[in-house]
Structure 1
Amino acid sequence: MSDAKPIDPAGALERLLTIMARLRSPDGGCPWDVQQTMQSLTRYTLEEAYEAVDAIERNAPDDIKDELGDLLFQIVFYAQIGAEQKLFDFTAIANAISDKMVRRHPHVFARAMTDETKLAEQWEAIKATERQQQSGGKPAPAALLDSVPTGLPALMYAQKIQKKCARVGFDWPDFAPVLDKVREEIDEIQAELAVKQINHAALEAEIGDALFALVNVARHCQVDADAALRRASLKFSRRFGQVEALATARHGSLYGLELAELEALWQQVKADETKAS
């Protein structure tokens, strides 16, 4: 196999597919790669997807390129296993998604003009037709929410099922009653914490309800709940790193400080950020 780097997408993809086949070869391939199955790869696929998201959030082009490459390698890995098992190959995967995108975008490829507000309805109608065709022409038995994968991250799963329900009219008219619902759920959490012997299962349920309501607020405000929490977590991590640096500079260590001392450092970091902006 030539080490020359192709200069076109088709050549680069062919090089990657050839490398993958070599890695999976029982004759001189990599023992680890040969042992993998579709099931064993799923955890790595999730990790690579999150690492790609992290690189994008950090706006680091070189890292984005590398992480997207790792993610593409996962797809190629599944394609190679599928080909070995005579189930599908990379060509079948690429053609399947191309066919789906053309089919689901008649307003682009068939010049079937539609109002922008009707695009979501058109998308769902086409998906419903696809499900009916896949079931041999019989009405699709799946319930409305059955098409949402339960293995999604919790925030994303909540937002997707809420969005599905909203499309059939099961939704609050605006964000005001949703905020009321959040306050109601917070009150119920406080009620659970007020008892002498806390019922942890009930407490978990109330916290879950509150989180679900907050996701609903985010959706009504056209905010992606998962992205919002990710950015809040990154902000907290950055600020706490500065707290740790200040604590080390002033006291030699972060450990052993009282909460009031840590809070004072935290407020200073926030104040410094405000001045810098």
Structure 2
Amino acid sequence: MSAAEQEIGRLLAIMARLRDPENGCPWDRVQTHATIAPYAIEEAYEVMDAVNREDWSALPGELGDLLLQVVYQARIAEEENRFDFAAVARAIADKMVHRHPHVFGGAASAPGAWEAAKAAERAEKAEHGILGGIAGGLPALLHAAKLGARAARAGFDWDEPEGVLEKIEEEIGEVRAELPEGDRDRLEDEIGDVLFTVATLARKLDLDPEACLRRANAKFTRRFNDMEAILAARGEALQEQDLSTLESLWTEVKRRHRLADHT
């Protein structure tokens, strides 16, 4: 037995012990498919963060946290006589073999074979239509990008990014038109259109909208923290400043960051 097989077996045994009705962990025993599912999303983003930071020492631990979510869900299912971890591993192994006939079946690699195989799988699951099979639980920006990409394969797309930019400006105009009334439902609808179209622009530029927003979040965090640090060095608190002072300080922090990026 390989080291990987041994450790997988050990992890499965640990999860079974944690879920033991009499001697397990009180918290782990009461979890369900629904209560534990959100952690899988969180752990997946922790993996992505470690990769983006190229923190290879942290990556095994983050991947382990993600693997734990798979083991957890499989254990709950096994207790309910639905399926077990072996069924999970078998399903993905069978899928990879099916989608790679040029590797495992001796067939020649053909353009579009991957998408054709996925389309056949969606048909077997009764996931009909161009947009069938796109998970509704994806982060909204990523979901928007996938919807747009799938529609684009059917020819429903802009020819150039400039056309998307014009659409963004149009959608912003519609938001502006709703501002005087302040109807929250209509504003939510219009702002959603803006965000969806921005996700489309990212896709047209071969960019991941989630990665773009994460980068903006990280940049905002760095700059905001620097503002707080500058004020703290003066013995002042950010909450005590007026908006004009904060805007001036924000501009200064941006200038410093740009200079640092070019040195």
- TM-score, normalised with respect to structure 2: 0.91
Residues 258-267 or 90-99, more deviating: 258-267
Note the alpha carbon deviations across 1:1-21, whole angstroms, 9 max, x for none: xxxxx9821111111111111
Counterparts of residues 95-110 of structure 1 (less than 5 Å): 95-110=90-105
Task: Could you tell me which runs of 5 or more consecutive residues in structure 1 were left unpaired when the two chains were aligned.
Answer: 1-5, 135-139
Residue type of the alignment partner of 1:231: R
Contact 1:247 1:265 in 2 (8 A): no
Residue type of the alignment partner of 1:247: L
Residue 77 of structure 1: aligned partner? 72
Contact 2:231 2:238 in 1 (8 A): yes
Note the alpha carbon deviations across 1:55-78, whole angstroms, 9 max, x for none: 333333333222221111111111
1:273 maps to which of 243, 257, 261: 257
Residue 223 of structure 2: aligned partner? 239
Alignment pair present for 1:66 and 2:61: yes
Distance 2:250 2:222 in 1: 11
1:251 and 1:87, CA in 2 relative to 1: closer, same or farther beyond 3 A?
same
Distance 1:27 1:149 in 2: 37
1:147 maps to which of 133, 141, 145: 133
Distance 2:182 2:39 in 1: 38
Alignment pair present for 1:10 and 2:5: yes
Distance 2:76 2:242 in 1: 56
Q: Helix, strand or coil: the match of 1:26?
A: coil
Residue 226 of structure 1: aligned partner? 210
Q: Helix, strand or coil: the match of 1:146?
A: coil
1:141 and 1:69, CA in 2 relative to 1: closer, same or farther beyond 3 A?
closer
Residue type of the alignment partner of 2:232: T
Distance 1:239 1:7 in 2: 48
Residue type of the alignment partner of 1:242: D
Counterparts of residues 1-277 of structure 1 (less than 5 Å): 8-114=3-109, 118-119=111-112, 122-134=113-125, 140=126, 142-193=128-179, 195=180, 197-277=181-261
Identity across matched positions, percent: 46
1:84 and 1:247, CA in 2 relative to 1: closer, same or farther beyond 3 A?
same
Task: Could you tell me which runs of 5 or more consecutive residues in structure 2 were left unpaired when the two chains were aligned.
Answer: none
Q: Helix, strand or coil: the match of 1:170?
A: coil
- TM-score, normalised with respect to structure 1: 0.87
Backbone CA RMSD of aligned residues: 2.0
Contact 2:97 2:104 in 1 (8 A): yes
Distance 2:197 2:91 in 1: 37
1:141 and 1:46, CA in 2 relative to 1: closer, same or farther beyond 3 A?
closer
